[in-house]
Amino acid sequence: MEAFTRLDAVAVPLPYASIDTDQLIPARFMSRPRAAGYGDLLLHDLRSTPGFLLDDPGYAGARIVVARRNFGCGSSREAAVYALVDAGIRCVIAPSFGDIFAANACNNGLLPARVSEAAAEVLLARLLGPDRRLQVDLEHATIGEMGFEIAPVARLKLLRGWEDIDLTLSHRAAIAAFAKGDAARRPWASATETSATGAST
Amino acid sequence: MAGETLFDKVWRMHVVLTREDGQALLWIDRHFVHEGSHHAFAKLRARGAGVARPDLSFAVADHYVPTRDRGAAIGDAAIGRMVGQLSDNARAHGVRLFGLGDPAQGIVHVVGPEQGLTLPGLSIVCGDSHTSTHGAFGALAFGIGASDVAHVLMTQTLWQKRPLRMRIWVDGAWGPGVSAKDLALCVIATIGADGAQGFAVEFAGAAIVGLSMEGRMTLCNMAIEAGAKCAMVAPDDVTLAYLAGRDFAPKGDALARAAADWSALASDADAVFDREHRMAAADIAPVVTWGTSPEDALPITASVPDPAREADAGRAAHVADALDYMGLAAGQRLSDIRVDRVFIGSCTNGRIEDLRAAASVLAGRRAVVPGLVSPGSSRVKAQAEREGLDAVFRAAGLEWAESGCSMCVAMNGDQAGPGERCASTTNRNFKGRQGPGSRTHLMSPAMAAAAAVAGFLVDVRALPAVR
Ligand code: SF4
C-alpha cells in the first residue's frame, strides 16, 4: 500500500452531508473488474447536478475532497474507496465518516481526516475562493494551520503504508493456539450441518 | 468493578491478542461471502493464498440473482458473470455455497439465521453493512470491506478497535399497526444517521423482549443506518425457540451446553454503557421517510419539513436538496404523497412475519399501483406458499417473485424508473438506490401494503375495513 505522509494539492468542495457509498459508486457499476479502473464512476450520478464542482475546470487535478458530516455512510462496498483512489483522491476531509468506509480508506492509502463541523464549513467556504490548495500533513495531523483527527492506529498504518495481513501472519502460532482452546471451550460453535434428529446430512 | 455488557462479554471471548496500541485481533466464527466478494477472492489469488477455514465460511448468492425465470440462463452477461464467479470461488476454495437453485438460497442475512448458522455469542462478519442483523441473536456481527474480507478468508481473524457501548432502552408495549421497522426509523431520526457512529448498540427493555426474532432482526439490521458498529439483543427463550431444529444449530448435548453459555451473556445489572437512550414503544406511530437519508423519517401523520425553518445551515441545505430530488414541497402532508409502485422484501423486511403483516393488510383488497414481493429466502417463499400468502399477494395484483436483494439495491435489474416513487420495506432511501433517479420512501411491510392499496402514503391504522 502506498504510504501517506504529506500532500499539497487542489481540494474540491462537495458541500453535502451523508454522501453515501451508493453515491460514491452506484451499485449498477460494481460488476466492473477493478483492473478496468473505477475513477470515471466516482459520484457518477451526481456529476450532472448543476453546481457540482467535481468536474469544474477550476478544480482540475484535485487530490482532496472536503464534505459535510457522515461521509461514506451506507454500504460496505470498498469500491467506493477504489473510485476515489482511481480518480486521484488521496484525502477526504469531513466532520465524520461511515465506520466501514473509514476502515476501507485506511486499507487503501486514502486518508479520512476528521475536522469539526465549523472547520469543515470554513474550508468549504474558502475553497470557493481563489485559493484552492490545501496542505495536509499526516505526521503532525494538520491541514495548513488547522488540526485534524484520526485514530492513532489508522495514522500509523497510513504513514507506514502497512497492510494488516503482514502483521497477522506473524501471529500464526497465537491464532492456532486460540482456535484450539476455543474449540474446547465452545464445542457448540463449530458449524456442523445436522438434521433435527441429530443425524449428519 | 462495574459488570460487563453483553457486547463486552462476546468481544472478550474472541480476542486472540491485543496490540500495544489497543487494536485487538478477533477470532471470527462465521464468515459470509456473496457475489460482491469477488474483489477479496482476487486479492487471495494475487497472494497465492487459500481460505484458512472453509468450514466457517459460507457463500450466498443474493445481490445479483434474478427474481424471475430462475430456470433460464441469466440474460445480462455482467450479472451472470457475478453469480458465476461466486460459485467458482466457492467451489475452488471448498466453501459451502447457497447458490441459485439451492432450496436454502436467499439473502445472506436471512439465510444465516434461518440455517442456524447465526448463534448467540458468535462473531460474524460479511462484506455487507447489514451484517448487524445477526446481532439480534446476541452475536457480535458487523460489515467489512473487501480488504478485510480477504484478511478473514486468509486468517479467520480481523484487527478491530473496540467500539464504545450504547444502550437503547425501549419501554412499554407496542401500539396497533406499529412494528420494529417503525421503531428503527424513529431511533435513526432521533439520534441521526451518524448518531451511533463508533458505538456497539444494545437494544433492551420490555418492548424489545416482546419482539419476535424477526422484529429483533429488523431492528438490528437498521442500526447501521444510525452508523452503529453493530447492534445486539440479549439471547432469551425467544432466541432459543427460534433456533430449535435449525440445520446448523447445535442439538442434543451440544445445545444444552450452548444454552448454558448463552444464558450468561446478558449484560450484568451493574454494567456501564458509554451512552444511553430511552424511548417508549407506546409513543411510536407508523413512520415513513420523506428524504434521501434514513434519518429523514417522520410519523405518517406529519408533514414534509421546510428548509427555511431549519436552524442549522448544513441541515437546511440537506432538506432543500432532498426535497428537490424527491419532488416534494415543503409543508406538504406525508399522507398526500402519491406512490407509483411498492416493493416488499429485503433483509430488513423479507421474513415470514413481514410477509404475513403485508398480506394481512392486502387480504380482500386490491393494489392500485404495481408492486413486487420478493421473499427474503427461498425457504421463506416456500413457507409463505404453504400459508397461502402468495395467493393473497397475487389476488391483490402484486407480483410474487423469487428471493434475492432485488429492488433493495437494484443490482439484478429489478428497479424503479427515473422519478418513480416507490413505497419500500428496504433500508436505504439514498438517491438512486432503487435505480437511477428513483425515489424511495422507507416503511414497514404493513405500511407498504397500505400504500399499495391507497396509491398514497397512508396510515395503515386508518385504512377502511374490508367490506
Ligand atoms: S437486501 Fe439490500 S441491504 Fe440486504 S443484503 Fe441485499 S442489498 Fe444489502
Q: How far is the CA of B406 from the centre of ligand 1 (A)?
A: 8
Q: Could you give the count of Cα atoms lying within 13 Å of B134 in the half-sphere of its Cβ?
A: 31
Q: Is B456 on the interface with A (CB under 8 A)?
A: no
Fold of domain B6-275: Aconitase; domain 3 (3.30.499)
pLDDT band at B408; cut points 50, 70, 90: very high
- In this predicted structure, what is the pLDDT of residue A195? 61
Interval B131-149 mean pLDDT: 98
Ligand 1 atom with the smallest distance to the CA of B346 is 1
Q: Given an 8 Å threshold on Cβ–Cβ distance, is A178 in contact with B293?
A: no
> Could you report the per-residue pLDDT of A136-151, keeping only the tens digit for each?
999 999 999 999 999 9
Q: Is the CB of B460 under 6 A from ligand 1?
A: no
Interval B164-183 mean pLDDT: 96
Report the CATH number at residue A68: 3.20.19.10
Q: What is the ipTM of this complex?
A: 0.94
Q: Is A158 on the interface with B (CB under 8 A)?
A: no
Name the 3-class secondary structure at A10: strand
- In this predicted structure, what is the pLDDT of residue A197? 44
> Is A167 domain-assigned?
no
- What percent of chain A lies above the pLDDT cut of 90? 85
> Is A171 domain-assigned?
no
Q: Is the CB of B134 under 6 A from ligand 1?
A: no
pLDDT over 70 (residue A84): yes
Quick check: A109 and A7 in contact, CB under 8 A? Answer: no
Ligand 1 atom with the smallest distance to the CA of B427 is 3
> Could you report the per-residue pLDDT of B412-426, keeping only the tens digit for each?
989 999 999 999 999
Domain with A97 in it: 6-162
The residues pairing with A94 across neighbouring beta strands, listed in sequence order, are A114
The residues spanned by each domain of chain B are 6-275, 287-462
| B82 or A199, which is more confident | B82
- What percent of chain B lies above the pLDDT cut of 90? 94
| Spatial distance between the Cα atoms of B451 and A185, rounded to a whole number of angstroms | 51
Q: Which of residues 349-408 of B touch A (CB under 8 A)?
A: none
pLDDT over 90 (residue A196): no
Interval B76-95 mean pLDDT: 94
Q: Which of residues 38-57 of A touch B (CB under 8 A)?
A: 45-46
Q: Given an 8 Å threshold on Cβ–Cβ distance, is B314 in contact with A17?
A: yes
pLDDT band at B66; cut points 50, 70, 90: very high
pLDDT band at A34; cut points 50, 70, 90: confident
pLDDT band at A199; cut points 50, 70, 90: very low
Q: Is B264 on the interface with A (CB under 8 A)?
A: no
- In this predicted structure, what is the pLDDT of residue B295? 97
Q: Position A28: which residue type?
A: R
Interval B369-386 mean pLDDT: 98
> Could you report the per-residue pLDDT of B217-272, keeping only the tens digit for each?
999 999 999 999 999 999 999 999 999 999 999 999 999 999 999 999 999 999 99
Q: Domains in chain A: how many in total? A: 1
Q: Which of B399, B404, B439 is nearest to B418 (CA)?
A: B439
Cα-only R_g, chain A: 21
Interval B47-59 mean pLDDT: 97
A97: phi then psi, degrees, rounded to nearest 5: -130, 150
> Is A182 domain-assigned?
no
> Is A176 domain-assigned?
no
Give the mutation target among B83, B134, B405 for probing the ligand 1 site: most ligand atoms within 8 A of CB: B405
- In this predicted structure, what is the pLDDT of residue A201? 36
> Is A190 domain-assigned?
no
Which CATH number is associated with domain B287-462? 3.30.499.10
pLDDT over 70 (residue A88): yes
Q: Given an 8 Å threshold on Cβ–Cβ distance, is B128 in contact with A16?
A: no
**The 3-state secondary structure of B357-392, one letter per residue:** HHHHHHCCCCCCCCEEECCCEHHHHHHHHHCCHHHH
State chain A's mean pLDDT as an integer: 93
> Is A187 domain-assigned?
no
CB-based contacts of B224, cutoff 8 Å, min separation 6: B129, B130, B132, B143, B231, B427
| Spatial distance between the Cα atoms of B335 and B48, rounded to a whole number of angstroms | 57
DSSP string, A103-141: HHHHTTT-EEEE--HHHHHHHHHHHTSS--EEEEETTTT
Q: How far is the CA of B201 from the centre of ligand 1 (A)?
A: 20
> B308 vs chain A: nearest CA distance in angstroms?
17
Cell reading at B224: 447501521
pLDDT band at A198; cut points 50, 70, 90: very low
State chain B's mean pLDDT as an integer: 96
- In this predicted structure, what is the pLDDT of residue A23? 96
> Could you report the per-residue pLDDT of B432-442, keeping only the tens digit for each?
999 999 999 99
- In this predicted structure, what is the pLDDT of residue A191? 85
